[in-house]
Structure formats: C-alpha cells, structure tokens
Chains A and B, each alone.
Chain A
C-alpha cells in the first residue's frame, strides 16, 4: 500500500437532499437544504429527485472530483442500503435517514416531521465534519501458514483443506500417531447413500494422505507451550521431547476434539460394579478387536445386550446437554451385533432418539435388522442381576430387562476446550479467568477495578460455569486476559453456533469439531473446512490491515490517547476479545489484528481517550448536541435512542419499510455496539435537555445475540450505574432505559418506542432544557 497524505476531516462538505421514495411529499427538501446553508454555512447544497439515480450520483461525483466538496451528506435513505452507489474515492460519506425514519414512519407535512428531518440533517452534517477517513492499521510481517492443533479427523481434514486452498500447515498432535479417536472405531455411521449400513471409518486413508502431503508439516508427540502475537503473526512455541521450537503462523485452527464423559461418576448406572457394564467407547474397542463379542467377566458370548442412552447426559448432575452422536453410535453398535449374530437380542433403551436427516435411514435399517428399541428412562441398573430397569413410556410401567450379558452406557462428549494432560497452573486464577470471562455479566476481577458495585445487578446464576472441563490451557495464550480460549455454556468454546460458527473470542483462532459442539465424524469434517475458510480470511485480513468478522473490511481501529490515559485498565478488562494487552507500566497496548472494532474499550474509557478515526465519543457527543431542543413550553419532548447498528437499527429500518409509525420525538443515532456507549453521552444528552434516553441493543446472557458477545451485557452493567448521574441532576430514574430487541423485532420496535415516549410524556420536561 502506498503512503498517502495524512487525511483530514472534511472542511467543506456538500449536502444533497433527496426527494424520491416519498421524501419530497413528506418534508420540504428545500427547507432542509436551507438548514445546512443557514445553520452550518454549507456552501454546496442541492436537492435531487433521486440521489441514487445515475444523474444524482454523477452530480455528487462531479462536485467531489472538482474539489468543491471534501465530504458528502446524502440525506435520503438509510445507510444500510445503496452504500455502493455513494462511494466517492474514500471521501467521507454520511447518510441522513429521511426515508425509513422520516418519510415512511411519520405523517407527511407535519411540523414534527419537518423538525425530525431537520435534526437528521444536522446530525449527519455534524458527523461528516468530524469524520477522519481511516487508514489501515500498520501492516506487519505476516505468515501464510496455518497451525492446526489436533490430529484427529477434524484436524487432518482441516490440514488437507488448507493445503488445497494454497496454505501450508503445521499439524500438531500430542500423541505419537495421527487418527485420534477414529483409530479406535469399528466403522462409522453411514455418511453416503443409501445411508443404511455401517461404513469404514476411512481414517487410515486420510492419515496416509496427510503424511504424504509435503505441505503439511506433521509434528507428533508435540505440544503447544505458548502462543503470542496476533492474526497474521502468531508466534507459537512448540515442545517435542523436551526440545522447544518457535514457529510463526498466520492463524490457528483448534481441533482438539472431545473426551468421553468420565463414567466413574455414573455409579448409579452400575459403572464399575461389573466388568460387563461398559461404556460405548469401551464396547467400540471390543468390536474393533473383531471376533465374537464376549463378556469381559467370563468370556461367554454376548447374546443379550442393552444400551442405556443418555447415560449421564441431559442430566443436571452430569452433562446437562445432549451429545447428539450417542444415539447413532448405539444404533451402529447394536446393528453390528445383531447382524453378526442372528440370535442376539440388542435392546436400546432411550428417552428420545436423535436421528436427524439421513440418520433416520440408518435407524430404520437397525429396526429392520431386529434391533429392539425401548422408549423410556432407565431408572436402575443392577450389576448383580445384570438388569436394566426402565419406565416404559409407551406401556406406562416399569420394565425389567434382567439377565443381560452386557450393559452399555452411552456416555456423552466433553469438549477438550482445556487440555486434560496439562496441569492447571494457579488453579484459582485460571478458574477466575475462565469463569469471569464466560459470564457476560462479570468482568475479570483485577486490582483497582471492581465489577458490579453497590447498585450493580447481581449476576444471574449460571450453573454451567461449574462445568468447565478440567485441564490447563490448550494454546497458553500470552494475552492480558489469560491463557484460555473462552468457553460458554457447558465448557464448549464460545462462538455463536448459529450466527457465527468457528469464531472464537480470540480473533485468528478458530475452533472446529467436537470442541465447539458435540458432533459426529461427518459433521467434524465439514466443520474443519468451515474453520479453515475463516482462518484463511484472518490471514488475508491481517495482511490488508482490515477488520475481520463481523465488521469485515473496516479500516478503523481504536487509538489510545496515552497522554490522557489513567491506566485504569477498564479497556483491557472489558474487551470481549482480549485484544488489548498492557505494558509494564500498565498502559494499554492495542493489537489491531485481534480487534473486532466494536468500541467496547471506547465505551469503557472513563476519560474518553480511546477513539476511532470515524467513530469516537466526541463525534457522538456533538451529534447529540447538534439537535434542536424545543423549550419546555412547546410540549415537544425529545428522546435519544442509541441503537445498535447490527440488530436494532435494521429492525427500525424494517419497521419503516413496513410503514409502521412511531413517535416523532425520537432521535436515533446508530452505534457500533451498545458496548461502545460511554456514559458521557448519556450525561451530555441529559444536560442538553433530552427528556428520555433509550439504549436499544441485543440480548445478553448465555443465549446472547450480541455480535460482539459481551457488548450488550457490559452496557447493561454500566447503565446500572447511571442512577447516580440522574440523582446528581435531580432527574427521575425512568428517563434512562435499555431495550433488548432482535433483528426480527420490526413489529415490536415501534411499540417499544411509543411506550417509552408515552412514559416520558407523562413526566415533567427535563429542567435542563435551554440551560
């Protein structure tokens, strides 16, 4: 990239008011142009029939090219549409939303509608005047190599996929051979048509292919000692036979898989009381050994076998979740036994059978072959009588299956989000780091910072926090926020499994396979390919110095004004992604490639010295102040809505598209994330005379919908302290509120706004008006 002249903020922006899509009928476009002229001394203003038309765009472009304007305000539709039309060589462009938020959601021609439109223009002009075109973060040396951790089916598939896409791979496996669990499997569930018969695991072939691939550097018997750096430039220290070596990689795929649930905790199901009560994994090894299936105790052939499904799964005392594969595995094993011995009776005792998609074919095949399925919960396993008792839901009675030759406990999967073979260093700290980071309502306790506080909300009970799989960190990250990859519910790595699979809360590090959620071999292989694609994007993005998911391509990144920084550490503590480290003196150091640009650090900073070139506390402050506040006698209250641009703002746009109406007193400013909202904006608004303030953002908690994981939860915590500010201004508590909305809430958002407007209308006007 060539170095260009230092960019500056626009000094002579142009304002272009659109009359299309009903805007011209709803408001007086010339009057709006006049606002720009008279209030902001804007030299270049124009009204257009349709700004997005070829002529409209050409006219703006002509002004930019001629140097008449160095910033553009398009007062037309939402910034969420037509973004590609209004792009002029990096010249800052700001959109005033006159369509969805004015023309389509307000009655035309009314005074309040005109006032709203004028404020939209004022905020947009203010914003463009304070926008510095961002330059990419400095491009460091970067590596195209991927580190894949784990040599099972997921890791090996990931390695192969990466090589196919042109990236060399270092594949680290801690044991002395590739293959993982699959080496121990006696075949696998069918993954190819007709999906009816047990198939070969195919693992041997995959191992051979990986070994033969010159672009895959297989490191067996090797562990990761520590990992430092950022996407594009991780330095990973490996240890092999006591010898340490350092490799540079651009991104990491973590495919550490799972460990079976510890069956010794299943004494109530008879485990340990008889050698003939085994886990599914143990039976698998016996089947893999081949030959006639015999009892461990006396070598007699197994003629009657019962599988107890959900052994320790979906059980609040053990694993509260479903591991999804155990049903298929038991069906496979029962089918293998039934097919090998036509006289054998194999019972599968299940509560609900999970056979999604093509697995239904496999299930049917097992039924046809004579596997016997019993619906009910196993209530007792008697090792002496070799009896499984269960409550048959379809008979409504307790049924004893007595005199069994073998009982199989179908145990679930525990994610290897920690390494069971690595000792937990400083257990207390590790636990605090992990748990603190998991719970979106709590920050990591560090010296000088106390989360919550006297008026803070009590963090909700999250029992799953006690279920972090035992072990040390798998990558041992040299990050300020600790060595772990954060986990969420039940110890699986924290990534939104529907919206953002593979993402972790450590940028450039992606999880795949059962460490992410329980899954079978076919799913793991697919998962590996997905994670590799994300890892390659990470390398590409860091090479260009742009943001990755979810603000893909964003050039801006947070900058710290060190002269003002008080070293309070709130930014380092609250960053959901561990992007900020500290130097020896406690000053924050931002790693731009790890940063997701949510602005949570900016919202955290008590002295407002963390800024983005195109988004910062000062800019939003000015936008809040730019709006005209009618005096207290006008009976026109003003409500400031700070709306998350990921879900809340689109929901409002859609409400406009659906022609839903809402209060004309609302002034909406999109924010990157509620995590970026600083309390200063709230106090500015209150002092300016706004009567009510609403933060509108995503759901928080362990079923969060926040694109930045913790942003909305952190905002919630911060807002709990706003009471003091209100008290100091002698204002009612209800004036500041938060609303959780999702992107699908377009029908609900107008209601939310109107109810709040009604509540505010019932209060006296803010006495600070015109102060």
Chain B
C-alpha cells in the first residue's frame, strides 16, 4: 500500500520529492535525472501532456505536489518505452509515470485525462481477476459502461462496425468468457498479493 502523502492538498510540500523517491516504482532512480529532456523530446504524445516528463520530474523536486498529482502526463503515456531506452541516466520514465497514475487514483486525486485510464484499468483488472484472462469483449463493454448508459450506447455504436468485423473474422467470440481452469487458486494468489502490498 502506498504511504499517504505527507501534506495532501498543499500546493508545495518539502517532503514530496522524497516521498516520490521512496514510494513510486522507479522513483529512487528519478533522483538521478539530470534534466536533459531526452524523454520529453522522444515522447510520441508529449503534445497531449500538460508537462513533459522532464518538467514533471523537476516539479516533483520542487515539491509541487498538487500540480504533479493532478497532471495529465501519466495518463497520456502510451508505454512506448522510448524514453526508458534513451535516458542517459537510466531513469525508468515509463514505469514511474505508470505508477504515478496509479498513485494519483489511489490517493483520490482527479488528474486531468485520467478518468478513461482508470476506468479502463479497473475494467481490465476485473476481467483478469475474475477469469484470469482478458476477455477483450467484456473489458470493452465494462469500460464503456463505467461512463453510464448513454456513453455506453454512444461508444458501442461508434465501434459497432469494428466489433462486427471482428466477430465475422472470428477474432471476437460469442459465448462464455475464456477463463483459466483454476480460478479459485488464481484469485487466492492475487488477493494474497494485494494483502502483502497493503501491509507495506
């Protein structure tokens, strides 16, 4: 479980940088960032972000907790890993952003653009935990549904043609979800893992 932020809601927080170093996956390596900006320059979708990774990391050092925890930078990461392989200081940028996204949600911040990511991640995990497998059909449906019936209908219609095409080609099946045989064992493992993580 993530340690609570030292001063939630405060604009600047002197403890924030070390909190990130200690609690975010890969955060300890972030301390080595030398602010060259190769990550931001390599990002395929940086224009969507309110801050590039370089700047976000400097904001973390500057203790700009609120701005960082509501930033849309993590939500827009497409996990292309270009920044990771190019970083001259071996900072695992993608991993850090992904975990920052999780921390934003976990600690109740409503980061810009992150609704969809969080809803998608939750739908995905529901399938993974319930069946041990990703049922693309159900994950998508559940994901659409998380925005309410109207949005579900709208998005379903938008993508109906794709879905029908897939069904026709046998790439989306009708019927019971694919599943592992030992669902009980898998759940036990995942629940145990969650319990270990929350005890820290």
Direct contact of A and B (CB under 8 A): yes
Of B14, B17, B21, which is in contact with the most chain A CB atoms at under 10 Å from its CB?
A: B14
Residue in A345, A369, A395, A404 whose beta carbon sits within 8 Å of that of B59 in the complex: A395
B92 CB contacts on chain A under 8 angstroms: none
Give how many A residues have a beta carbon under 8 Å from the other chain's beta carbons.
Answer: 24
A367 touches B14 (CB 8 A): no
Binary CB contact string for chain A from 121 to 137 against chain B (1 if under 8 A, 0 otherwise) = 00000000000000000
In B29-60, the 8 Å CB interface with A consists of 31-32, 35, 54-55, 58-59
In A696-716, the 8 Å CB interface with B consists of none
B62 touches A399 (CB 8 A): yes
CA distance A342 to B23 in the complex (A): 13
A368 touches B31 (CB 8 A): yes
B14 touches A345 (CB 8 A): yes
Residue in A345, A369, A374, A400 whose beta carbon sits within 8 Å of that of B12 in the complex: A400
What does DSSP make chain A's interface, helix, strand, loop or mixed? mixed
Residue of A nearest to B31 (CB): A367
A375 touches B31 (CB 8 A): no
CB distance from A369 to the nearest CB of B (A): 8
A370 touches B58 (CB 8 A): no
B18 within 8 A of A: yes
B99 within 8 A of A: no
CB distance from B139 to the nearest CB of A (A): 39
B15 touches A367 (CB 8 A): no
B63 within 8 A of A: yes
A733 within 8 A of B: no
B61 within 8 A of A: yes
CA distance A364 to B88 in the complex (A): 13
A373 within 8 A of B: yes
A361 CB contacts on chain B under 8 angstroms: none
CB distance from A355 to the nearest CB of B (A): 12
Which residues of A approach B to under 8 Å, CB–CB?
Answer: 304, 342-343, 345, 347, 364, 367-375, 392, 394-395, 399-404
**18 A-B pairs, CB-CB below 8 angstroms?**
A345-B14, A345-B17, A345-B18, A347-B14, A364-B32, A367-B32, A368-B31, A369-B31, A370-B18, A370-B22, A372-B18, A374-B61, A374-B62, A394-B55, A395-B59, A399-B12, A400-B12, A404-B14
A370 touches B31 (CB 8 A): yes
A403 touches B14 (CB 8 A): yes
B62 touches A392 (CB 8 A): yes
Residue of B nearest to A395 (CB): B58
Contact status of A401 and B63, CB under 8 A, knowing A345-B15, A370-B18, A372-B17: yes
B31 touches A401 (CB 8 A): no
In B177-199, the 8 Å CB interface with A consists of none
CA distance A392 to B55 in the complex (A): 11
A403 CB contacts on chain B under 8 angstroms: 14
B28 CB contacts on chain A under 8 angstroms: 368, 370
A304 touches B14 (CB 8 A): yes
A402 touches B58 (CB 8 A): no
A394 touches B35 (CB 8 A): yes
CA distance A364 to B89 in the complex (A): 10
CB distance from B50 to the nearest CB of A (A): 13
CB distance from B112 to the nearest CB of A (A): 19
Residue of B nearest to A400 (CB): B12
CA distance A369 to B61 in the complex (A): 14
CA distance A694 to B79 in the complex (A): 71
A394 touches B58 (CB 8 A): yes
CB distance from A674 to the nearest CB of B (A): 48
B61 touches A372 (CB 8 A): yes
B35 CB contacts on chain A under 8 angstroms: 375, 394
Residue of A nearest to B17 (CB): A372
B12 CB contacts on chain A under 8 angstroms: 399-402
CA distance A395 to B32 in the complex (A): 17
CB distance from B182 to the nearest CB of A (A): 41
CA distance A347 to B22 in the complex (A): 16
B21 touches A370 (CB 8 A): yes
A395 touches B55 (CB 8 A): yes
B15 CB contacts on chain A under 8 angstroms: 304, 345
CA distance A114 to B170 in the complex (A): 101
B21 CB contacts on chain A under 8 angstroms: 370
CB distance from B4 to the nearest CB of A (A): 14
Query: 5 smallest A-B Cβ distances: which pairs?
Result: A304-B14, A399-B62, A394-B58, A367-B31, A372-B17
